[in-house]
Amino acid sequence: MKKKILINIAAIFLAIFILSMIQRLLMPKYMTEIPEGNLIEEYYDEEKKHDVIFIGDCEVFSNISPITLWENYGITSYIRGSAQQLIWQSYYLLEETLKYEKPDVVVFNVLAMKYNEPQKEAYNRLTLDGMKLSQAKIGAINASMMEDEDFITYIFPLLRYHSRWSELTSEDFKYMFKKDTLSHNGYLMRIDTKPVNVIPKGKKLPNYQFGDNSYSYLDKMTKLCKENEIELILIKSPSVYPYWYEEWDEQMVQYAKENDLTYINFLDVVEEIGIDYSKDTFDGGLHLNLSGAEKFSLYFGKILSESFQLEDQRENRDLAKIWEEKVKFYYDMKADQERELKEYGYLKSYGGQAQQIEPGNE
Amino acid sequence: MLFTSYEFILFLIVLVILYYLMPKKYQWILLLGASYLFYAFAGRTYLLYIMATTLSTYLISNRIHRLQQTASDYLKESKGSLSREERKEYKTSMKKKQRRLLVVCLLLNFGILAVLKYTDFTIANINSLLNLFHVRKELPFFRFALPLGISFYTFQTMGYIIDVYREKYSAEKNVFRLALFVSFFPQLIQGPISRFDDLKETLYSEHFFDAREVSFGLQRILWGYFKKLVIADRLLIAVNTIVGNPKEYQGVYVLVGMFFYAIELYCDFTGGIDIVIGIAQVLGIRIQENFIRPYFSKSITEYWRRWHITLGTWFKDYMFYPISVSKSMLDLSKKCRKWFGNGIGKRIPVYLASIIVWFTTGIWHGAAWNFIVWGLLNCLVILVSQECEPLYFKFHSRFSVKDKFWYRLFQVGRTFWLMSFLRTLDCYRDVSTTFRMYGTIFTEHNYGQIFRGGFMTFGLSLADYIILILSVTLVLVVSLMQRSGSVREKFAERPILLRYTAYFVMFLAVILFGAYGVGYDASQFIYSQF
């Protein structure tokens, strides 16, 4: 009897082990395609001590370079950004981040305010799959799920990715246990250029009012920051698409005023920043490339360091040592991308070929 | 709450834990609560219908039972004081009262089913008739929502009250126990249609945790999910592509569609029944089998004895026999014998009863002409083959092929294809399209096309076909093994390592190869729609 019980227990453990291995194998690795799928997960390997945490959608992970902030102002920062990150996801990511560290400043890109309800399962996955299991993750899942989604598939992603067995590649085996770091403190580098051809006019909308759900999460975010004595800065990052309406801007100005927050619309100072959309974007104006991101970070870093009194940490030996490696990785990747661009005419191993994101679809 | 949903699996796990932890005498009450909860997930208003059926059947069955007891007591007491005629007269009058009550119950419950299921079908036909006579007026549709499993629970409950009327058993005195019989959740969606005397033995008894029974039940559930998710729902993609584009897929594709649908329906329905019986077994409850390897049948009559057995026996016991031996049918038989002679005369009532039963079987499956024609064609084939029996007999006495393997294989293949032909009426949108598609099998000579990439246009990849071939082969092998007894029992004697590996591989096959989740359309069990 005792032997049978032991065999059963061993069998259960073995089954769980095999299932977890299969789950690891089947989960998308996002190493060469859709690298933004890795951003959320990379944070956990990081030394969690940052002056600034950025949260938001692609307009943060493409447009802000923490290395530039470090090199020029000694600001340590991390971007917890992800593709089409919805405001409730930003809120829960912030809640989770605050369990690990307490930054001086949190920067939230307000473009996500336009989405009042969950949008697309595929984007949910890019944010939520990378999160470690926690109260915050459960909250984020519940807030993000589309009607036809199942909670359990976020907890056991094998149930979501089970059919990938027929499309496994060598990448799935190679990165099953350890993945390469792709971002620079959450910044996804792209050095290629695709200039803006047309600057679009915004389509007329039936209603410009941001939704109640968006506002309720912005309120929560504000409250969370205030409770933790963190300065919350709302920004609208520079981009040509998606269109940022005057009516939206007014609402953000009003909100910041009512809640004693700083709101900066960088679209108003694009020229002052020095962004040239014929050179500084890799996808026709949706996102900035490295050159654009460095210009923007240089400009924003000045504001952060002067207006929010962020200390220059470059004299801190321990930090300097950590960041020295990061800077090296940054310039190595830059050189590698330059080499690829020269050799192939496009970024072969950095997702440059995909160009899946089209204007309007973000 | 679909059987294939995560919510259902969670619901089941919680139920089983509570079921074996709670005091045994309350187990059936928990099952009743769980059944109503399960039903409420489909729609809270549906509960009213199932409650109405339960309550009306309870009240009337008990009234009938009381009349039976009164009659029996009175006849016992007045033994000797009443003449034979008086006793007969009393019995007849009491039976009449019971029959009246039975008819009220049947009319009420079949009435609910008929109104909800067939009103719009009737209106559509009336509108077609009006259109035919150039009347411009059209009657509006009601679009009633059909409560989950109403065809199944109505038939099961009406079977119960007819049995009470026939004094096969007494009426259930406890309304809640009857409510559980009507609503027992595993069989609510797609049967089997149980008999009260079969089910009550295990439904209300106290069940102790029996590891072997629970393990067997879980194995059966797993096998059901394998058939449903890995085979049926994968084939559904191809079947939908073929029957959804009748202009594009004609000729040989119709045959392929038939073949695929035959496998899909079998795996869907038997997979569902495996889950039902498996769940019941986990709970210690025995439910009657509904299939005995029907695709191994050598004739259509045999096929119908092995496919959806509980529906077939329901129609036989509660419809075919009562109609065949009804007074009006016996009178008709007498007249027919007089007019047409003994041979034809005795056949006419049987044929008539068969036609009525098959018409009803057809319309039970769905309020559409497709199903009616399907039912009547089944009837036609059965009656024709009955008429041809003397010919078969002559053939078999002349050629001794009956026991030859190849001949039996031919019979099995013939029955399979004949049934697949008829079943195609389920698939296409109407009868005329189905017959047009039948025609294209003979007029479109595109047989080569199917092997020149045709298979790859149904929405399935090569990997899908490999899985299908392996899985269907496994189902076939298991079916062959079942002929000599329970596969699970045979397997239970194998070494533990082999058993556990097999269970795990099967579990993994369902998880990995199941056609569920994103990228697949969540598919209900086909029979749950009936």
CATH code of residue A223: 3.40.50.1110
Interface test with B, best of A23, A27, A166 (most B CBs within 10 A): A166
Chain A residue numbers touching B513 (CB-CB < 8 A): 162, 165
Q: Nearest-CA distance from A336 to chain B in Å?
A: 37
Does residue A108 contact residue A59 with C-beta atoms inside 8 Å? no
B163 contact partners, CB below 8 Å, separation of at least 6: B169, B195, B196, B197
In-domain check, residue B425: no
Judge: A162–B522 Cβ closer than 8 Å, yes or no: no
pLDDT of residue B525: 55
- Say whether B511 and A158 touch across the interface (CB within 8 A): yes
- Average pLDDT (B117-122) is 92
Burial of B384 per CB tally in 10 Å (0-12, 13-18, 19+): exposed
Residue numbers in B near A21 (CB within 8 A) = none
Sign of CA dihedral B310, B312, B315, B316: negative
Residue of higher predicted confidence among B528 and B511: B511
Does the distance separating the beta carbons of B519 and A22 come in below 8 Å? Answer: no
In a domain, residue B17? The reply is: yes
Residue A362 counted as domain residue: no
Q: Is the pLDDT of residue B2 over 90?
A: no
Same domain, B171 and B235: no
pLDDT value, residue A360: 39
Residue B211 touches partner A, C-beta closer than 8 Å = no
Q: Comparing A31-40, A265-274, B221-230, which segment has the lowest mean pLDDT? A: A31-40
**Angle A189-A192-A195 (CA atoms, 0-180°, nearest 5)?**
120
pLDDT of residue B527 exceeding 60: no
The answer to whether A90 touches A118, Cβ cutoff 8 Å, is no
Q: What is the tally of structural domains in chain A? A: 1
Q: From the CA of B506, how many Å to the nearest CA of chain A? A: 12
User: What's the whole-number mean pLDDT along residues A183-200?
Assistant: 90
Residue B402 falls inside a structural domain: yes
Kindly determine whether residue B463 and residue A166, on different chains, have CB atoms separated by under 8 Å: yes
If asked whether residues B205 and B224 sit together in one domain, one would say no
State the residue range of the domain holding A71. Answer: 39-151+183-350
Q: Which residues of A touch B465 (CB under 8 A)?
A: none
Peptide bond into B192 cis (omega under 30): yes
Domain shared by B172 and B214, yes or no:
no
Residues B203/B181, Cβ–Cβ less than 8 Å: yes
Using CB atoms, pick whichever of A7, A18, A163 lies closest to residue B496. A7
pLDDT, tens digit (0-9, with 9 covering 90-100), for B327-339: 888 888 888 888 8
Band of residue A242 on the pLDDT scale cut at 50, 70, 90: confident
Q: pLDDT band at B431, cuts 50/70/90?
A: very high
Is some CB atom of chain A closer than 8 A to the CB atom of B129? no
CA A197 to chain centroid: 27
Residue at B346 is within a domain = yes
Same domain, B119 and B170: yes
Q: Which residue of A has its CA nearest to B467?
A: A166
pLDDT of residue B522: 45
Taking CB atoms and an 8 Å limit, are B511 and A11 in contact across chains?
no
Average pLDDT over residues A309-322: 91
Specify burial of residue B386 (Cβ count, 10 A radius: 0-12, 13-18, 19+). Answer: middle
Tell me, yes or no, if A15 comes closer than 8 A to chain B by beta carbon: yes
pLDDT-above-90 percentage for chain A: 78
What lies within 8 Å, CB to CB, of B108 at 6+ separation is: B56
Residue B118 lies in a domain: yes
Q: Flag if A162 and B508 touch (Cβ within 8 Å).
A: no
CA distance A272 to chain B (A): 46
Q: Would an 8 Å CB–CB cutoff place A250 in contact with chain B?
A: no
Tell me: pLDDT of B523 over 60: no
The model's pTM: 0.88
B300 is a domain residue: no
Confidence check: pLDDT of A72 > 90: yes
Which chain A residues are within 8 Å of B226, Cβ to Cβ?
none
**B371 and B383 part of one domain:** yes
Res A66 pLDDT > 90: yes
Among the three residues B416, B438, B455, which one is the final residue of a domain in this structure?
B416
Q: Residue B338: which domain range?
A: 305-416
CB spacing of A22 vs B512 below 8 angstroms? yes
- What is the arithmetic mean of pLDDT over B214-234? 96
Per DSSP, what are the bridge partners of residue A241?
none
Residue B523 distance to chain A (closest CA, Å): 13
pLDDT band at A301; cut points 50, 70, 90: very high
Residue A357: the pLDDT is 41
Work out the burial of residue A359: count CB atoms within 10 Å of its CB; fewer than 13 is exposed, 13-18 middle, 19 or more buried: middle
Determine, yes or no, domain membership for B405: yes
CB B238 within 8 A of CB B291: no
Do B327 and B404 lie in one domain? The reply is yes
B341 pLDDT more than 70: yes
Residue written as token pair 């038997």: B270
Residues B86 and B185 in one domain: yes
Maximum distance among all Cα pairs of chain B, rounded to whole angstroms: 88
**Amino acid A361: pLDDT:** 40
Residue A232 φ then ψ, to 5°: -100, 125
Given B383, B416, B449, the domain boundary residue is B416
Instruction: Give yes or no for residue A112 having a pLDDT over 60.
Output: yes
Q: Among B209, B241, B268, identify where a domain stops.
A: B209
Q: Which residue has the tokens 């009936």?
A: B530
How many other C-beta atoms lie within 10 A of the C-beta of residue A28? 20
For B519, the closest of A152, A153, A163 (CB atoms) is: A163
Q: Is A167 on the interface with B (CB under 8 A)?
A: no
Contacts of B508 in chain A (CB under 8 A): 18-19, 22
Q: What is the mean pLDDT of residues A74-83?
A: 95
Residue A359: the pLDDT is 36
Q: Which helix (H) or strand (E) holds A77?
A: strand A77-81
Quote the pLDDT of residue B392: 87
Distance CA B164, CA B245 (A): 50
For residue B406, what is the enclosing H or E element? helix B405-423
Chain B residues whose CB is inside 8 A of the A18 CB are 504, 508
A145 part of contact set with chain B, CB < 8 Å: no
Together in a domain, B49 and B187: yes
In terms of domains, do B330 and B383 share one? yes
Report the alpha-carbon distance of residue B319 to residue A224 in Å, rounded. Answer: 70
Tell me which of A162, A164, A172 to substitute to probe the interface with B (most B C-beta atoms closer than 10 Å).
A162
Chain A residue numbers with beta carbons less than 8 Å from the beta carbon of B496 are 7
- Residues in chain A within 8 Å Cβ distance of B463: 166
Reading the block at residue B87, the tokens are 């006793």
Using the Cβ of B463 and the Cβ atoms of chain A, whether some distance falls under 8 Å is answered with yes
In Å, how far are A89, A131, B328 from A220, measured between CA atoms? 12, 20, 78
Nearest to A160 among B496, B515, B518 (CB): B518
A117-166 residue pLDDT tens: 999 998 999 999 999 999 999 999 999 999 888 999 999 999 999 999 98
Task: Examine residue B299 and state whether it is found in any structural domain, yes or no.
Answer: no
**Looking at the structure, do residues B494 and B449 belong to the same domain, yes or no?**
yes
Mean pLDDT, chain A, whole residue set: 91
Contact in structure between A286 and A241 (CB atoms under 8 Å): yes
From B510, which residue of chain A is nearest by alpha-carbon distance?
A162
Residue A80, token pair as written in the block:
């917890």
Residue contact A150–B6, C-beta within 8 A:
yes
B114, B218: one domain: no
**SS3 letters across B7-37:** HHHHHHHHHHHHHHHCCHHHHHHHHHHHHHH
pLDDT greater than 70 at residue B44: yes
Q: Do B273 and B339 belong together in one domain?
A: no
